[in-house]
Amino acid sequence: MKVVIVGGVAGGASAAARLRRLDEEAQIIMFERGEYISFANCGLPYYVSGVIPKRSSLLVQTPKAMKSRFNIDVRTMSEVMGIFPEAKEVEVKNLTSGETYRESYDYVVLTPGAAPIIPDIPGVKLPNVFTIRNVPDSDMVKGYVDVQQPASAVVVGAGFIGLEMAEGLHACGVEVHVVEAADQVMGPLDREMAAIVHQYMRKQGIKLHLHSQAAAIEGTGKAESIRLADGTAIPTQMVVLGIGVRPETSLARQAGLALGSTGGILVDEYLRTSDPFIYAAGDAIQVRDFVTGRDALVPMASPANRQGRMIADNICGRAMKYNGAQGTGIVKIMDLVCAVTGANAKILKRMNMDFKSCIIHPFPHATYYPGGTQMTLKLLFTPDTGKVLGAQIVGYEGVDKRIDVVATAIRAGMTVFGLQELELAYAPPFSSAKDPVNMAAYAAGNIINGDVEAVDWLDIAELQQKGVMLFDVRTEREVEKNPIEGAVNIPLDELRDRLDEIPQDTLVAASCHVGLRSYVATRIIRQHGKNVRNISGGYKLYQVLKADKLI
C-alpha cells in the first residue's frame, strides 16, 4: 500500500505516524511545501513574545526524525501542484530545483490547512505588515520586534491568534491597538462574557477599536498608520493581521472534489472526500458541529490531530467514524483566561434551538484558602431535559480544568443533573466541596425544576419598559458604594419583614452581588405568591456591562 500525504503539521504528521504504527510495510510519502513538516503553530505567538525562548522548541518533528523512527519518506520544499484521481497520481514541484514530477498513490491524505485572511485594502503588502501562520512568519515578526523595537502596533482581528499576538506584543513593551470588525473580541464568547475581556484588556492598556474595519494601511515605504472605515487614523509602526483563516481548497477543487456549504472540503463520517481514495483532515475540511449538527469550520489543532489518526485507522481497515467537533478552545491574555466549548447563545438563537442559561461567579478553590479570584461561568442547556449544550468561562485560576469537565460532559451527552452528581477532586487549594461545575449545574437544575426563573441583564431594559420592579438585596453599605441604577434596596436579611414592599401584581427582578442572595430572595418571594425573577450574574456582571455600554 502506498499513501501520499499532502501537508504536515497536525493532521498530516498524525496520519503518517499512525499509519506506520499500524502497517510496517506501507510506503508513506509526505509532501510539505515549506521547510518544516510538524511545528507547534499554536505556540508561534509565544515565541514572538519570548515566553518560548528557543525556536527549536516549536519543531515537533523533523524529516530526519520521521525517517529514522517511522521510516517515512518526507519531502520538504515540495509542493503538490495537482491530484489526478483517474490516474491515481499527484504532480509535485521541487521548490528548490524547480523539477516537476508525478508520484503514484493508492490513497491520498489531504491536509493543506488554512491560509490567513488578508483584506483587500491599500497598503496590505507593505514590509512591516505581517501574518502569523508558520515558523518563517513568526521569525519575521520576532526579528522585526527585536531589531526595530517598535513603540506601537496594530493587531487587526480579535480571535484566538489576534488576542495572543496582542498579548505577546504587549509583553514586549509595545503599545497595542486591536481593531475588530465585530462588536466584541473572541466570537465564540457571548456578548456579556466578552465584556469582561474588554474591561480587562483596557485596564492593561490595550486599546480596543470594536465595530471598526480597517480601510487602508498608509505610509511611505512602510506602514505608518491604519485608517479605519470611519476615517479614524491610528499611528503605528507595525501591523499584524489576525483576522482569521480560510480553508486551502485549491488542490481539492483542481481534483474535482466536492466542497461543502462552508467552503471547506466535504468529507463523510469516515473523513473520505467525494473520491473514496482521497481522505482529508484539519483546517481545510468541513465538519459537523457536535452540538447543533450544523456545517462548520473548526481550525483547531486537537480536532486535526484526532482526524489524522482516524484516517490512518480507516485506511488500514479499522473503521472509525468522526462524530464532529464542538469547538473547545482556550486563550490566555496576560493573566486572564477565556475558554469555550459547545454552542453559544448566538448560534443557538440563529438555529432557533430552545435553550436556557445561567451565569455564576465561583471561586476556583475554597474561599477560606488564601488567594483565588472569582471566575465567571456561563452554562447553556436545553430547557426540558437539561442536556448540556455549551459553556464559557472567563477567569484566572482553574478555568482550563472546568471547561474540560464540561467539554467531556457534552461529548458524553450528559445533562446538568449528571453534572450535579460528578465527584470531582477536592481539597481546599484546588476546589470547593461543590466544584464550580457542580455549582453551575445546581443553578441550571433550579431553573429547569421551576424553583427560580432567571433573566439576563441584557433583557432588563425591555422589562423595565413594561413596568418591572428592580430591587437589590445587598446590604445598604454595598448599595451605597456600588448602586444599581433604578433598583430599590431591600437587604436580604430584612426581606421577610418588608414583603409588603414587594407588589403583588407586578413582575419584580432581584439582584445581589453575584446572584446567590438574590436566588434566596426569589425563593422567599415566590413562596408568598409573587412574580419574581433572579437576574443572572448580579452586580458583578452589571458593572461590566455598564462599562461596556451594553446597558
Residues annotated as part of the active site: 42
Distance CA 510, CA 538 (A): 9
What is residue 415's three-state secondary structure?
A: strand
The distance from CA 128 to its chain's CA centroid, rounded to whole angstroms, is 27
Amino acid at site 260: G
What is residue 176's three-state secondary structure?
A: strand
Where helices occur in 263-373 by DSSP H, the ranges are 301-315, 345-350
Q: Which of 12, 87, 2, 14 is nearest to 280 (CA)?
A: 12
- With beta carbons less than 8 A apart as the criterion, state whether 240 and 131 touch: yes
Q: Which residues contact 507 (CB under 8 A, 6 or more apart)?
A: 463, 466, 467, 468, 469, 531, 532, 533
Extended beta strands in 350-387, E state: 356-360, 376-381
Enclosing H/E stretch for 170: helix 160-171
> What pairs with residue 101 in β-bridges?
92
Q: Which of 543, 538, 545 is nearest to 458 (CA)?
A: 545
Q: Which of 344, 247, 329 is nearest to 291 (CA)?
A: 344
Cell 489524522 found at:
308
Distance CA 7, CA 63 (A): 13
Annotate 98-124 with three-state secondary structure: CCEEEEECCEEEECCCEEECCCCCCCC
- With beta carbons less than 8 A apart as the criterion, state whether 279 and 273 touch: yes
Enclosing H/E stretch for 46: helix 44-49
Q: φ, ψ for residue 4 (rounded to 5)?
A: -105, 125
- With beta carbons less than 8 A apart as the criterion, state whether 138 and 165 touch: no
Amino acid at site 288: R
Grid cell, residue 126, equals 507593505
Distance CA 205, CA 219 (A): 25
What is residue 180's three-state secondary structure?
A: strand
